[in-house]
Amino acid sequence: MAQVARMMKQSVTPDFKESVSQTAASVVGVSKFFGKTVVLENISFDVAEGEALVLLGASGSGKTTILRIIAGLEQPYTGKIMLHGKDVTELPARERGVGVIFQSYALFPKMTVEKNIGYGLRIRKRSRKQIKQTVNELLSLVQLEEHRKKYPSQLSGGQQQRVAIARTLAYKPEVLLFDEPFGALDAQTRVHLRREIRALLRKVNVPAIFITHDQEEALELGDRIAVIRLGHIDQIGTPSEVYNNPATEYVATFLGAANILEGTIHNGHVEVGSVQIPARIDVAKFSEGQSVKLIFRPEDVSVSKTQTLPSGHACLLSGIVEEISFVGAYERLRIRLDPGGSAACDAGDTPYYLTTETPESQTAKPIIATRPKPESMATKLRQGDRVFIGLTSFTILPSDSRASPGPDSSK
Amino acid sequence: MRHVRGFDVARPLSIGMLVFMMLPLVFLPLASIFIFGTSNGLGNFWAALTAPEAIFALKLSMATSFWATLFNVLFGLFAAYVLSRYNFLGRNALIVTISLPTAIPTAVAGFALLLLWGPYGTLGRFLRPQGIQIMFTAGAIILANIFVTFPLAFGVIKPVFDTMSRSLEEASATIGATRVQTFWHVTLPSLRGAIVSGALLTFARAVGEFGSTILVSGNLAGRTQTAPLYIFAKFNEGQIEAANAIAIVLALFSFLIFSVLFFARDWLDVD
Ligand SMILES: Nc1ncnc2c1ncn2[C@@H]1O[C@H](COP(=O)(O)OP(=O)(O)O)[C@@H](O)[C@H]1O
Ligand SMILES: [Mg+2]
């Protein structure tokens, strides 16, 4: 096992200089049309050595097309693909040395497990002895030794996937590309397998690009996540960056639940209806009177029966609990904001305050809050209770943005 | 109520009727070949079978069918590959044209070949001065066999190509294989069953071909007379026994091929 890992490390850091080998793969300004439809629009990103990048997007957003272009199965209309500093845009798939794990695994049905794994070496005319040794190492790496003589149809989905991975590792790929690797599996196997694959990738240290439409999967698998919408990268960053500081409303809503309130910039504050939030806004990014969106996650909402919220939790407003539901691990509250209510939180030392002059429909919109069990046990709430609401964190985005100038976020 | 007692009268009745209908149509004719063929003793049967002309006819049938099968399987493979992998203008027209020969009466096929390659045919008349004569040779029989069995192998191989996942070939390419390597190691093994059954079908059909062969071969005993033509000739000469001996061989032969196709289906289709 260690031998394979060593072999992989050597192979993916070939003779390039250190600075070059930091980036394993780059997609530079790639666009793609099918007929007259734009499927990809100026896509650029890098994958670092040993990194796992997840392309996250809805079905039809162009994820598979990006993968196929990197693998050389599809030609880009503009842009180029670099692998370890080498421009491979013009190279056919078979000369790129990229490992693709297809959605259906695409194992060769008439070959046994070991024949499948050894295929890359057989067509490279390696010696029988060498093939046997590598196949044995890979079989033990993916723990399929006792299945070596079986045919793909005799294996479970997870086992087939491991064969597919071993089959690409055999020829020391520059980068591994996974197209919806867990799509065909049941929920439990899926979680189990993605941890297994993550561990395997760390062991062999091969950079990987995963495709998924499952946000939970993306958060768990990726060192970084690129959120793709309609052939365009909305945001690329670490899981915590994209989750906590979404660059667009789409990113915010695609990765988990988000509350969105509309407001305007006024005197360097954000006004949501009658509520003013003196967020530390980068004035350069916003102009006076600009409409913005205040975005925050249900778990960033703190709820209190009293006017004092725990320190650091900025009081926003009060509201009435409309609905309480239990969603397994936590409690979910729907709260109708109540701007008309005269009761406001103590401004205290928090940087937020609110005014209650002109109630507007905006603030009368319900928001969703979630509370962990200990908290919901400590402070029991019932339908109709008046609560004071605070935010631990939120993001402010321009309203009309598709490609926004970037997130502005306060904590 | 009948069902409760586990006995359905319709069952034995319908099976019996089916067998009864097939009796005069299929079973009895086949049985009579064997009954008559051996009615004068096995010695006579054996003598008829080993007559030089009979042996020659059988060999010629096998040889011409073999070459026609080889050609049609290779061509069918190639045509199926092109027509399922590439999309182009006139693709459907080509598919229909390839399948056409099945619908053409075999006598018409033979006649058409004569009109093309015969001594005064469209092309034949230019070949004749060169001393090249295709009709009335074994070559003509092969040509006729090819024409008549043209779509059989293609028809079996093409659907397998169509359903074969494209990602297998793509996977092979990303692993580093050339097109030839991919075809040899990945595509061909998946086609094995289709190729074998396509070949058997073509061969069986070619061995039994009569209508086109009798026109293009000239039916010269010991030179261009195939087994079915031999049966026909001997029957006309009143030598029923000679005809019958070869008929038995051809019947057994088709039983054999059919059994392979039927009982080895699992092996042929193995995934
Ligand atoms: N070969 C093709 N010809 C025409 N349109 C295609 C082709 N492949 C993909 N598309 C279109 O491109 C878009 C992106 O497809 P794809 O990359 O498969 O998306 P995803 O993998 O994110 O679901 C889709 O609208 C799809 O219909
Ligand atoms: Mg896809």
Instruction: Give pLDDT tens digits for A343-401.
Output: 454 444 433 333 333 344 545 568 889 988 888 888 888 888 888 888 888 888 887 65
Residues of B in contact with A108 (CB under 8 A): 168, 171-172, 185-186, 189
Quickly state the pLDDT bin for B78 (edges 50, 70, 90): very high
Residues of B in contact with A100 (CB under 8 A): 170-171, 174
Which residue out of A32, A34, A230 has the highest number of ligand 1 atoms within 8 Å of its CB and is therefore the one to mutate? A34
Residues of B in contact with A120 (CB under 8 A): 175-176
- Report residue A69 CA to chain centroid gap: 21
Asked if B171 and A106 come within 8 Å (Cβ–Cβ), the reply is yes
Asked if B170 and A110 come within 8 Å (Cβ–Cβ), the reply is no
Q: Which of A364-368, B109-113, B217-221 has the lowest mean pLDDT?
A: A364-368
**pLDDT digits over B8-32, tens only?**
888 889 999 999 998 888 888 888 8
Nearest-atom number in ligand 1 for the CA of A228 is 22
Q: Does B39 score more than 70 pLDDT?
A: yes
- Please state the length of chain B: 271
CB atoms within 10 A of CB B178: 13
Quickly state the pLDDT bin for A259 (edges 50, 70, 90): confident
Quickly state the pLDDT bin for A64 (edges 50, 70, 90): very high
In the predicted model, what is the mean pLDDT of residues A192-209? 91
Nearest-atom number in ligand 1 for the CA of A231 is 14
Quickly state the pLDDT bin for B90 (edges 50, 70, 90): very high
In the predicted model, what is the mean pLDDT of residues B142-151? 94
User: A319 has which bridge partners?
Assistant: A337, A387
Between the two ends of chain B, the Cα-to-Cα distance in Å is 44
CB atoms within 10 A of CB B131: 6
DSSP label of A119: H
Asked if A104 and B167 come within 8 Å (Cβ–Cβ), the reply is yes
**pLDDT digits over A206-235, tens only?**
999 999 999 999 999 999 999 999 999 999
pLDDT value of residue A389:
83
Alpha-carbon distance of A66 to A86, in angstroms, equals 18
Q: Which of A19, A23, A393, A63 is nearest to A227 (CA)?
A: A63
How is chain B split into domains, by residue range? Answer: 51-268
In the predicted model, what is the mean pLDDT of residues A156-160? 91
pLDDT value of residue B268:
66
**Which protein residues touch ligand 1 with a CB less than 6 Å away?**
A 34, 39, 57, 59-65
Q: Phi, psi (5° rounding) for residue A330?
A: -140, 175
Torsion angle, CA of B140/B145/B146/B149, rounded to 10 degrees?
Answer: 160
Q: Does B230 score more than 80 pLDDT?
A: yes
Q: In chain A, pLDDT over 70 holds for what percent of residues?
A: 80
Taking the CA atoms of B15, B18, B23 and B27 in sequence, report the sign of the dihedral they define: negative
Q: Which of A133-147, A238-252, A300-314, B131-145 has the lowest mean pLDDT?
A: A300-314
pLDDT value of residue A21:
45
Q: Does A156 score more than 50 pLDDT?
A: yes
Tell me which H or E stretch contains A409. Answer: strand A408-410
Alpha-carbon distance of B43 to B51, in angstroms, equals 12
Q: Which of A88, A94, A102 is nearest to A30 (CA)?
A: A88
CB A363 within 8 A of CB A317: yes
Q: Which of A96, A106, A122 sits opposite B167 (nearest CB)?
A: A106
Taking the CA atoms of A403, A404, A405 and A408 in sequence, report the sign of the dihedral they define: negative
Q: Which phi-psi region, left, alpha or beta, contains residue B116 (left: φ > 0; alpha: ψ -120 to 50)?
A: alpha
Q: Does A410 score more than 90 pLDDT?
A: no
Q: Phi, psi (5° rounding) for residue A191?
A: -65, -45
Quickly state the pLDDT bin for A18 (edges 50, 70, 90): very low
Alpha-carbon distance of A28 to A22, in angstroms, equals 16
Q: Does A405 score more than 60 pLDDT?
A: no
Parallel, antiparallel or unpaired: strands A208-212 and A176-179: parallel
In the predicted model, what is the mean pLDDT of residues A17-23? 56
pLDDT value of residue A380:
86
Taking the CA atoms of A225, A230, A233 and A235 in sequence, report the sign of the dihedral they define: negative
Please indicate whether residue A316 or residue A71 has the higher confidence score (pLDDT).
Answer: A71
Residue with CA at minimum distance from ligand 1 atom 3: A34
CB A165 within 8 A of CB A197: yes
Q: Does A108 score more than 80 pLDDT?
A: yes
Tally C-beta pairs within 8 A across A and B. Answer: 69
Residue with CA at minimum distance from ligand 1 atom 21: A64
A36 exposure class (CB count in 10 Å sphere: 0-12, 13-18, 19+)? exposed
Q: Which of B165, B181, B190 sits opposite A104 (nearest CB)?
A: B165
In the predicted model, what is the mean pLDDT of residues A254-269? 81
In the predicted model, what is the mean pLDDT of residues A286-299? 83
Quickly state the pLDDT bin for B217 (edges 50, 70, 90): very high
With an 8 Å Cβ cutoff, the interface of chain B facing chain A consists of: 165, 167-168, 170-178, 181, 185-186, 189-190, 192, 271
Which residue out of A31, A32, A38, A39 has the highest number of ligand 1 atoms within 8 Å of its CB and is therefore the one to mutate? A39
In the predicted model, what is the mean pLDDT of residues B164-177? 93
Three-state secondary structure of B196-255: HHHHHHHHHHHHCCCHHHHHHHCCCCCCCCCHHHHHHHHHHCCCHHHHHHHHHHHHHHHH
A110 touches chain B (CB under 8 A): yes
Q: Which of A73-87, A228-242, A286-300 has the lowest mean pLDDT?
A: A286-300
Q: In chain B, pLDDT over 90 holds for what percent of residues?
A: 61
In the predicted model, what is the mean pLDDT of residues A312-319? 67
Residue among B165, B174, B186, B187 with most chain A CBs within 10 A, to mutate: B174
Q: Does A3 score more than 60 pLDDT?
A: no
In the predicted model, what is the mean pLDDT of residues B244-267? 86
User: What's the number of CA atoms in the CB half-sphere (13 Å) around residue B42?
Assistant: 0
Strand ranges (E), A204-344: 208-212, 224-229, 232-237, 259-266, 269-272, 275-277, 291-296, 301-304, 314-327, 330-337
* CATH, range B51-268: 1.10.3720.10
Quickly state the pLDDT bin for B259 (edges 50, 70, 90): confident
Q: Is A186 helix (H, G, I), strand (E, B) or coil?
A: coil
Residues of A in contact with B195 (CB under 8 A): none
pLDDT value of residue A16:
40
Asked if A92 and B173 come within 8 Å (Cβ–Cβ), the reply is yes
pLDDT value of residue B41:
82
Q: Which of B168, B173, B174 sits opposite A108 (nearest CB)?
A: B168
Quickly state the pLDDT bin for A31 (edges 50, 70, 90): very high
Q: Which of A132, A135, A59, A70 is nearest to A97 (CA)?
A: A70
Residue with CA at minimum distance from ligand 1 atom 5: A34
Ligand 2 centre distance from Cα of residue A63 (Å): 6
Please indicate whether residue A389 or residue B265 has the higher confidence score (pLDDT).
Answer: A389
pLDDT value of residue A41:
94
The strands making up A176-179's β-sheet, listed across from edge to edge, are A99-101, A176-179, A208-212, A52-57, A224-229, A232-237
Q: Is A139 helix (H, G, I), strand (E, B) or coil?
A: helix
Q: Which of A94, A44, A55 is nearest to A71 (CA)?
A: A94
pLDDT value of residue B56:
95
Asked if A99 and B174 come within 8 Å (Cβ–Cβ), the reply is yes
